[in-house]
Amino acid sequence: MHPTIRRVFNAQQSGLILVILLLGAILTVFAGSHVDRMTGRSVNNFLNFHTLTQTATDASFFAIMAVGATMVIISGGIDLSVGSIYALAGTTMAMALRSWQFSNPFVTVLVALMLCLGIGLLCGLANGVMVVGLRVHPFIITLGMMWVFRGIAFVMSKAESILVPDALTSVVKTTFGSSSALYPLPMLVMIAVTALGAIYLSRTVMGRHIYAIGGNSEASRYSGLRLGRILIGVYALSGLTAGIAAFVGISYYGSATCGDATGYELYVIASAVVGGASLSGGKGSAINAMLGAVLIVLIRQAIRQLHFDQNYEWIIIGSAIVIAVVLDQLNTRLTAKRLAKG
């Protein structure tokens, strides 16, 4: 086999990409077609720009958070509070913009972005400081903070649904000159966050430290790594990505409530795990987490497009997650055996 082709097949992402392509091919063949109301042409129900962009958009909110959550998982921790950080950042941003009423759209967008990112970062820092300072398992800390953050959003917003200014929606729903109702910005943000996450994890010293801690925290401590500082940074980054997702999501849908992103933490963790992240730490990748999110959304899409009874959605997604993880573990064991023999 040609070395380049072999490298592509051996790449960490190749399995997930193959599964996504296979599912895409099945959907293209079996999802049927319809006549487009505007052009009068027959359009494949799956393989069209609108559906593909929509699928990527739906995945983007999970995927952006999954990049940060993957870093936490690689470090050997877990972050259950990302959905609540999303809600808190979103409601705070919406309430602040409602009070301040900026006339300049640029200022509106800038302030909204700073608020979402700032609150996400602060919440993440709080998680990190407590995990390190209190020496309590991150599952417990982030479980507690999940309710605390959502509770603050609830009390602050009085459970109201708060509309965000049109300036925000028009930025996130920009069409870049394409036909209407084709909004690629959330997808582009997802790609950008994933790329930055991948570079951070694989090309920077800080990123390698995260793998080191997750792989063997004791060895990392003895080798002089400042575990506390690195862990706080990891949770801060997870909060930051939740803030980015909140900015994109709330602006895209046009309103914020304290109930936003309820239960999304499980989709986020599932995305990371389907992407090959190990809950025992030391393993995972930003690109795979994004692909994991895309795969989960694609499975949801497939249930509808192939006209399966949607009551089976949870069973199918749950089974897919278990199968993906089992296959990944099998692959890891086989690779280890092969290496041991060779």
Partner 1 sequence: MNRLGKAFIVLGCVAVLAVASSFAQAKKTIKIALIAKNSTNPVFLAARTGAEAAAKELSAKHGIDIVIDWRTPPTEDAQVQAQRIAQAVNEGDDAILVSCSEAGKVTGAINDAVARGVPVMTFDSDAPQSKRFAFYGVDDLRTGEQVMSELAKQLGGKGKIAILAGNQNAPNLRRRVDGLKKEAAKYPGIQIVGVFNHIETPQDAAAEVLRVMNAYPDINGWGFIGGWPLFTKTLLTDLDPNKVKVVSVDALSAELPYVEKGIAPVLLAQSTYLWGYVSVEKIIDKLVLKKDVPEITRMDLVRVSKENLGTWARQLKAWGFTDVPEEYLKLP
Sites for partner 1 among residues 167-196 (CB under 8 A):
169, 173, 180-181
Looking at the Cβ atoms of 169 and 238, the one nearer to partner 1 is: 169
Specify the 3-state DSSP secondary structure of 181: coil
Site map 54..93 versus partner 1, x via CB under 8 A: x---x--x--------------------------------
User: DSSP states of 27-65 as a string?
Assistant: HHHHS-EEE-TTT--EEESSSSHHHHHHHHHHHHHHHHH
Task: Select from 216, 213, 211 the least CA-distant residue to 198.
Answer: 211
Please, which residue, 41 or 338, has the CB nearer to partner 1? 41
| Token representation of residue 70 | 């993957």
> Would you say 17 or 96 has its CB closer to partner 1?
96
313 binds partner 1 (CB under 8 A): yes
Question: Is residue 28 at the binding interface for partner 1, with CB under 8 A as the rule?
Answer: no
Q: Show the binding pattern over residues 290-309: x = contacts partner 1 (CB under 8 A), - = does not.
A: -----------x--xx----
| Distance from C-alpha of 236 to C-alpha of 98, rounded to nearest angstrom | 27
Determine contact, residues 291/275, Cβ cutoff 8 Å: yes
Question: What is the smallest separation between the CB atom of 57 and partner 1, expressed in angstroms?
Answer: 8
Among 6, 7, 50, 221, binds partner 1 (CB under 8 A): 50
Q: Is 8 in the site for partner 1 (CB under 8 A)?
A: no
Task: Out of 40, 177, 263, 342, point to the residue binding partner 1 (CB under 8 A).
Answer: 263
326 lines the binding site for partner 1 (CB under 8 A): no
Q: Find out whether 68 and 244 touch, Cβ atoms under 8 Å.
A: no
Number of Cβ within 10 Å of residue 323's Cβ equals 11
314 sits near partner 1 (criterion: CB under 8 A) = yes
**Terminal CA-to-CA distance of the chain, rounded, Å?**
19
**From 14-22, 43-51, 142-150, 217-225, span contacting partner 1 (CB under 8 A):** 43-51
Of 310, 319, 329, 332, the one binding partner 1 (CB under 8 A) is 310
Residue 262 sits in the site that holds partner 1 (CB under 8 A): yes
| 43 lies in the binding site for partner 1 (CB under 8 A) | yes
- Do residues 126 and 65 lie in contact, with contact meaning Cβ atoms separated by under 8 Å? no
Residues 123-162 that bind partner 1 (CB under 8 A): 159-162
Answer whether 65's CB lies under 8 Å from 82's CB: yes
All residues at 6 or more sequence positions from 221 whose CB lies less than 8 Å from its CB, including other chains? 227
Task: Report, in angstroms and rounded to the nearest whole number, the Rg of the chain calculated over CA atoms.
Answer: 21
Which residue from 136, 149, 167 is spatially nearest to 258, judged by alpha carbons? 149
Interface contacts to partner 1, rule CB under 8 A = 31, 33-38, 43, 45, 48, 50-51, 54, 58, 61, 159-163, 169, 173, 180-181, 249, 252-255, 257-263, 301, 304-305, 310-311, 313-314
